[in-house]
Amino acid sequence: MAGEGRHSFMSKQSKMTGADYLLLLLYLDNCSAINGAIRITKMMFLFNMEIAPVLKKKGVSICDEDLPKFSAYNYGPFSKDVYEQVELFQSIGFIKVKNLYATEEMSEVDDWEESAFETEFSEGSCQYSSNQDGKFMQYKLLNLGKKYVESEIIPQLTNDQLAVLTTYKQRIVHTSPKMILRYVYTKYPEMTENSLIKDEVLGK
């Protein structure tokens, strides 16, 4: 697993990693759930590209090597690291991942991302590849994960730093998947060079 042994909850290091920020983002905004693979994947991609630099300017020590790695894939920026982190967190009872019936905004676009995940993990046992028609994945922090975030992560950040992350979480949760994709595809064209849905996302 990419980053295994670097997670502060495993190694007891004070330096936070991408896995810690994933848990923290799930915690913020009253532990609001992240709906859809698109949101959780692009949330962490945009964290790397746009939020981590802001936090660095505000005094947070972030090593790029400890953040999830992304590559240009069939559906835009894709990270095996993120999905392995999600799988690990579910296995230790930090988060819950479940299928929900899709709303209108989720039904079409999340099929793209779940299909990408299924292709990437076709030889694995990861259950997130079992997307069913008309459903999408929801990611939610559980009590054990909340306790970890409150005891091990929150104390490492100032209120100002947490405010940046809270605002970001709210934007992700309340922005439609199509708008998130269009933003990522427009601002980071290098991540769309292998995309199968580029024209559809950009409305060409």
* Model confidence pLDDT, tens digit, residues 89-145: 999 999 999 887 655 555 555 555 555 554 444 333 343 433 445 567 899 999 999
CB 36 within 8 A of CB 173: no
> What is the 8-class DSSP label of residue 33?
P
Please give the model's pTM, rounded to 2 decimal places: 0.83
- Whole-number pLDDT of residue 44: 97
**What does the alpha-carbon distance between residue 21 and residue 76 come to, in Å, rounded to a whole number?**
21
Q: Tell me which residue has tokens 């199509």.
A: 178
Q: What is the largest CA-CA distance in the chain?
A: 49
* Model confidence pLDDT, tens digit, residues 142-171: 999 999 999 999 999 999 999 999 999 999
